[in-house]
């Protein structure tokens, strides 16, 4: 993302320089229009200066727009990184890791994994699927989000079962099978792959630990 940021500032600074220089020429032409014998030259300076002021304005505006998109993308990447961190903590919830009867036979409910930031990336329209790096994050995000939706649905069904029975042995057996289930293992796999992609392409987003703040 550093190269994109540099491109933004080149547009902004370049546009500003064009506007500045064009303004000098246009002002010079206007100031000398009535006292110069070369009125055509003055008009060329005025018109040409005005034209280049417009071009400079377009360049600078484009640069600011690119910079704004760049900042929005960074915010979204940080958001999904923080969401991964929350899900990592939830993945180690006592209900998933427990071996004690007191927990396994309880009527505690499973936590739900988060995916709102993932949805924001997918619906933002800011990431270009034609750019390999951005296509990779879109694919990984879509796969991760889909897996979370699936495992959350399974956890909801599990909670419904637990709340519908008083057979604690059945509850224990059911809970022991959850971490081994295909749906949960698929989530764990996509969860790991998602982190690997963030670490490879957006390592800067891992610098701030959201849950430590």
Boundaries of every domain in the chain: 2-212
Whether the pLDDT of residue 120 is over 60: the answer is yes
pTM: 0.76
- Whole-angstrom Cα distance, residue 22 to residue 46? 9
- pLDDT value of position 31: 84
Whole-angstrom Cα Rg for the chain: 29
Lowest mean pLDDT among 34-43, 73-82, 112-121, 188-197: 34-43
- Give every CB contact of residue 118 below 8 A, 6+ residues apart in sequence: 80, 83, 141, 144, 145, 148
CA-to-CA dists, residue 17 to 22, 100, 118, angstroms: 8, 70, 40
Percent residues over pLDDT 90 in the chain: 46
- Whole-angstrom Cα distance, residue 49 to residue 13? 18
Neighbours of 94 (CB within 10 A): 12
Name the band, by pLDDT with cuts 50, 70 and 90, for residue 65. Answer: confident
Q: Is 122 exposed, middle or buried (0-12, 13-18, 19+ CB in 10 A)?
A: middle
CA nearest to 45, candidates 33, 55, 37, 57 = 33
Whether the pLDDT of residue 212 is over 60: the answer is no
Whether the pLDDT of residue 156 is over 60: the answer is yes
CA nearest to 161, candidates 181, 151, 175 = 175
Name the band, by pLDDT with cuts 50, 70 and 90, for residue 4. Answer: low
Contacts 24+ apart (CB under 8 A), 120-123: 120/76, 120/79, 120/80, 121/76, 121/77, 121/79, 121/80
- pLDDT value of position 187: 95
Neighbours of 26 (CB within 10 A): 20
- Whether 111 and 178 have beta carbons less than 8 Å apart is answered as no
- pLDDT value of position 142: 97
**What does the pLDDT look like over 21-55, one tens digit per residue?**
888 888 888 888 777 777 788 888 888 888 888 88
The total number of residues written for the chain in this structure: 213
């Amino acid at each position: 993302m550093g190269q994109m940021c540099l491109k933004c500032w080149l547009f902004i600074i370049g546009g500003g320089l064009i506007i500045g220089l064009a303004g000098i020429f246009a002002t010079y032409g206007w100031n000398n229009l009535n006292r110069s014998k070369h009125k055509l030259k003055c008009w060329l300076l005025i018109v040409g200066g005005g034209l280049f002021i417009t071009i400079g304005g377009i360049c600078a505006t484009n640069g600011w727009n690119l910079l704004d998109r760049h900042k929005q993308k960074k915010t979204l990447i940080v958001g999904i990184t923080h969401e991964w961190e929350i899900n990592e903590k939830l993945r180690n919830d006592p209900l998933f890791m427990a071996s004690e009867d007191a927990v396994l036979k309880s009527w505690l409910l499973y936590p739900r994994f988060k995916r709102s930031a993932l949805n924001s990336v997918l619906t933002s329209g800011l990431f270009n699927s034609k750019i390999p790096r951005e296509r990779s994050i879109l694919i990984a995000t879509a796969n991760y989000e889909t897996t979370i939706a699936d495992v959350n649905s399974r956890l909801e069904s599990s909670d419904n079962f637990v709340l519908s029975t008083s057979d604690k042995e059945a509850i224990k057996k059911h809970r022991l099978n959850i971490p081994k289930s295909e749906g949960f293992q698929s989530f764990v796999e996509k969860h790991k792959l998602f982190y690997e992609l963030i670490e490879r392409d957006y390592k800067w987003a891992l610098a701030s630990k959201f849950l430590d703040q």
